[in-house]
Amino acid sequence: MSIDKTSAPADTEHQVVNPDAAQAAVTAVDPRLLVREQGLKGYLTEFKRKLHAGDLGSIPVVIGLILICVIFQSLNSNFLSAKNLSDISVAMVATGMMAIGIIFVLLLGEIDLSVGSVSGVSGAIVAVLSVTHGLNEWLAVLVALASGASIGAIHGFFFARLGAPAFAVTLAGLLFWLGFMLQLLGDQGTINLDDEGVVGKLTTYFFSDVAAAYGLAAAAVAVFFLSSFVDSRRRQAAGVPSRPLGDIVFRTSLLAVVSFAAAFMFNQYKGLPLALVLFLAVLVLTDFVLRRTAYGRKIFALGGSVEASRRAGINVTAVRISVFAIAGTFAAVGGLFWASKIAAANQSAGAGDLLMNVIAAAVIGGTSLFGGRGRTWNALLGVMVIVSIQYGLQLEGIATPIQFMITGGVLLATVVIDSVTRKTQKTAGRA
């Protein structure tokens, strides 16, 4: 009995591909393209897909913020007052700045426990150099920022080059830099800063002209629309799916409502806070770095797989060291804002629940503890949740221990959601 060895290949070669079936296969491969192809109609399909895959992004955080506002406003009508919301926007900047640095580290799937102590060192350096030794305050600030970057790079060297666990290295750094800060401040323990100085004005300066807040809102809306419109046209020219004009207008309208409402609120009190302007500028810049540059893609790649990144030619050691240097820099920036808030550098800087709040802000905002997923805008959402809860509980006269317990519970719930999300994504074949 003979076997025809040529019949199977011949049948395969003469198969005809159905164009409709091929198009359906492309759609099945990446259903997220429905949002760009169908515009507003695609959002419902996209939401159902994300719900099934356990990938809801920032939606739970936004819903949580709305619930927080509704609950505390019902308990105290002052919660949504212009003064309280302005105070919240200034108070959240220090923690938010530090959370941005932590997000870079978390994207690698690592952790930095030293940021609280490094922030204290930053404030102490500025105070000692500018007040005790009379150095120009701008130079003192630059030295403090350079010190934060150097400290982070040292931690990164021990981790990336010598192979020591990041947890152990930064835990040692927490203790070492805490002692270094105490040594800098000396027996006095507290050095007062000039309220009208560079650091002092970080949290006390407001743009009182109403045009400042409304101008920033208008600029943000215009830039968002133009960038989205140009990106859509560029994608159309390249022959890839792009957002329709109606979708862009809808998203821009939502941003306009939020931006001008915030501007109106700020103008009912002291005006637009300088601290918030700096925070938003840093968020835009770091988001661009992570999403639009080769360096940012390398960070995400490392968070996905170190070995695959190494095989792809990425300098793993250099990227890791640079990420910890970035975390140290933002810890120093946060330290300057903390020093500005109390107009002094003291021995309690960087202590207490600061480290917990920084990590919680990043994780609550949507950054994964397992690496490879997150955006710097998560710092804004996360710190808004934490500070809003703190201010709401303070208005109700709730004791500090209860505040710690509630914040800890929110953090635990977020970590559990993150873990469940990863399991769901693995089940859906997207992890």
Choice among 257-261, 268-272, 335-339, 422-426 with the minimum mean pLDDT: 422-426
The residues facing 190 across adjacent strands are 346
Phi-psi region for residue 209, left (φ > 0), alpha (ψ -120 to 50) or beta? beta
Residue 36 clears pLDDT 80, i.e. is over it: no
Q: How much is the pLDDT for 304?
A: 86
- Residue 21: pLDDT band (50, 70, 90) is very low
Share of the chain above pLDDT 90, in %: 57
Provide Rg for the chain, Cα atoms.
25
**Weakest-pLDDT range from 27-41, 120-134, 143-157, 185-199:** 27-41
For the residues 360-384, what does the mean pLDDT come to? 87
Q: What is the pLDDT of residue 422?
A: 64
**For 52-56, 141-145, 410-414, which range has the lowest pLDDT when averaged over its residues?**
52-56
Cβ atoms of 342 and 331 closer than 8 Å: no
Quick check: 355 and 411 in contact, CB under 8 A?
Answer: no
- E-assigned strand segments in 296-425: 344-346
Residues composing the chain: 431
The mean pLDDT of the chain is 85
Are 95 and 101 within 8 A, CB to CB?
Answer: no
Extract long-range pairs of 177-182: CB within 8 Å, 24+ residues apart.
177/114, 177/117, 177/118, 177/120, 177/121, 177/151, 178/117, 178/120, 178/350, 178/351, 180/121, 181/117, 181/120, 181/121, 181/124, 181/347, 181/349, 181/350, 182/347
Q: What angle do CA 252, 39, 33 make, to 5 degrees?
A: 115
- Give pLDDT, residue 295: 95
Confidence of residue 140 (pLDDT cuts 50, 70, 90): very high
- The reported pLDDT for the residue numbered 335 is 95
Per-residue pLDDT of 80-112, as tens digits, reads 999 999 999 999 999 999 999 999 999 999 999
Q: What are phi and psi of 346, to 5 degrees?
A: -135, 175
Helices (DSSP H) in 210-273: which residue ranges?
A: 210-238, 245-267
pLDDT of residue 1: 44
pLDDT at 12 over 50: no
Max avg pLDDT among 194-208, 364-378, 388-402: 194-208
Least confident of 265-269, 334-338, 379-383, 413-417: 413-417
Residue 4, phi then psi, degrees to nearest 5:
-85, 105
pLDDT of residue 396: 85
